[in-house]
Amino acid sequence: MLKNQVLEMTTTEPASVRGGRWSSYLEIAKPRISTMVLFTVWAGSVASGWASTQWHWLHAMVGTLLVAASGSAVNQYLERYSDYFMPRTSRRPLPGGRLSAPEVATFAAVTLGMGVAYLMATVHPVATGICLLTWILYAFVYTWLKPVTVWNTFVGAFPGAMPVLVGAAAYDGQIGPLSWVLFLILFWWQFPHFMAIAWKYREDYAAGGLKMITVTEPTGRAAGRVAVGVAVVLLVTALVGNLWLTHTMVYTMGTLVLGGAYLWYSWEFYGQRDNATARSLLLSSLVYLPFQMTLLLLCI
């Protein structure tokens, strides 16, 4: 087994290195992903209809942020050896030797405890339970499946979308239909997004022993079919939101433009399957999600 650099760190480091460790803790928490998580928590609460009169959405955001940081830390703790072999991840705090495994494990335990305790004290128990389930699915089930089966992407899409439900249930434990629509939008959105990433970093995933679809089927045809098929499902799912919206014409037009563009880039990726089309699909996914979710919230 690989002898990880992290396990050889000494305790007599200069102050500059110790200072770098604090920034490494921030990196372990994946702040860019956490920002998206916070947005989806808030969106779920707005779609539920009580966010304008209650502050539970803010408590849900704080607690979920802490739990998400813990989940990210556990994920990187468990994947520290495979991360070492992948150029994309080899400079993360653990394989890069900036933090030790016990330090990351402690960080994960502390942030999880703080997050769950905060949620239990401030939001409905249903929201707390959903957040804890999200942590379990991401930190352990999804992480465990990545070197085992290509179905890891399907399983990982659930914790990726569940923060919407945390926000929706934060006040009274009820999850309204629009919050479920947002959940499904976020759930299906991840597949073309992940297919683009899986193609772009297919060599990294193969080196790390991870069973991504572009590793088990290296031509990319399967990844392209998934991207196109799910983009169609996503477009239909988003249009279903009209059943509970007020400004249906505006929403329909905007959804057709956004979803149509996402489908187009998915089709383009399927047809060519190269780094350029994968990059275009990835960028289109980053544009689609915030605009589609915002459009829905504005048309309530």
pLDDT in tens, 210-227: 889 999 999 999 999 999
**Does 129 lie in the same domain as 96?**
yes
* Residue 2 scores a pLDDT above 70: no
**Does 287 lie in the same domain as 182?**
yes
Nearest residue to 27 via CA among 184, 83, 82, 5: 83
User: Would residue 17 count as lying in a domain?
Assistant: no
Domains contained in the chain, number: 2
User: Would residue 206 count as lying in a domain?
Assistant: yes
**Mean per-residue pLDDT, 120-146:** 94
Cα distances from 79 to residues 101, 143, 255, in angstroms, run 11, 8, 38
Tokens read off for 41: 């928590």
* Residue 3 scores a pLDDT above 80: no
Residue-level pLDDT at 132:
96
Residue-level pLDDT at 169:
94
Residue-level pLDDT at 100:
85
Which domain covers residue 80, as residue numbers? Answer: 23-175
- CATH number of the CATH domain containing 115: 1.10.357.140
**Mean per-residue pLDDT, 292-296:** 95
**Mean per-residue pLDDT, 22-32:** 80
* Residue 177 scores a pLDDT above 80: yes
pTM, whole model, 2 decimals?
0.87
**Does 105 lie in the same domain as 49?**
yes
* Residue 42 scores a pLDDT above 80: yes
Using 50, 70 and 90 to split pLDDT, how confident is the model at 79? confident
- pLDDT above 90 as % of the chain: 66
**Does 30 lie in the same domain as 166?**
yes
Give the other-Cβ count within 10 Å of 141's Cβ.
14
**Does 151 lie in the same domain as 46?**
yes
User: Would residue 155 count as lying in a domain?
Assistant: yes
The dihedral over CA atoms of 200, 202, 207, 210, expressed in degrees to the nearest 10, equals: 120
User: Would residue 260 count as lying in a domain?
Assistant: yes
Residue-level pLDDT at 223:
94
